[in-house]
Amino acid sequence: MVTYRLRPLEPGDLAVLLSWENDPAHWIAGQRTSPFSKDTLEKYIAASGRDFWETGQMRWVLCEAYADRPLGLIDVFGAKRLHLRAEVGILIAPEMRGQGLARAGMHLLQAWARDYAMLETLSAQVYTDNTAALATFNQAGFTRSGTWKRWVKTPQGWKDVALFQWSPDR
C-alpha cells in the first residue's frame, strides 16, 4: 500500500511549479489570466518557509511517503486567525488524477489543520461542473453549504460555484 505525506515547497520544485502554474488549463481554477515568471516563483518558494499564521497561507506538496517527487499541491490560504478559518485548494498532476490522491492529500491536510494550525474551519469553492473535486470534498467530510450562481466568468461562459465547509468537530 502506498502512503503519502505533505511537505513544504523546496527550491527543487521550481520546474514542476512553473509547469503546473503556467498551464492555461489550470488558470481557470485559480481564476488567473496570465502566467507567473520564473523569478516570481523563485521568490515565492524562498518566502514559503515563513510561518502559516504570519503569511495567512501555506502551500503543501503532496508526495509519496518515501519520495520527494511532487504528485500535487494543496494550498491553504486566506487564513483568519481571529476566526480560526482558512480556504483550501488542490491540484493533482494531470497524469496522476483518478487515483485517489486528492482524497489522501485532503485527509493529511485536515490532520494538520486540526492538530497543528488549530483551525476550526476549512472552506472551499468548487465549480459545480467539476465532478472530481465535488466528490473529493464530499468524501473528505466537507459539507456543501451553498451555491453562488453565475459566479465566475470563463471563456466557456458563466460557472456556478459550490461552497464547502469542514470542521474537525463535526
pLDDT tens-digit readout, 88-124: 999 999 999 999 999 999 999 999 999 999 999 999 9
pLDDT average, residue stretch 138-147: 97
Statement: residue 1 has pLDDT above 70: no
Whole-number Å distance between alpha carbons of 43 and 31: 21
pLDDT at 33: 79
CATH number of the domain encompassing residue 31: 3.40.630.30
pTM of the model: 0.91
| Domain housing 113 | 4-119
Confirm whether 45 is domain-assigned: yes
Q: Among all chains, which residue has been given the C-alpha cell 461542473?
A: 129
Q: State whether residue 49 is helix, strand or coil.
A: coil
Confirm whether 153 is domain-assigned: no
∠ at Cα 151 (28, 96), nearest 5°?
A: 30
Confirm whether 125 is domain-assigned: no
Confirm whether 146 is domain-assigned: no
Phi, psi of 138 (to 5 degrees): -60, -45
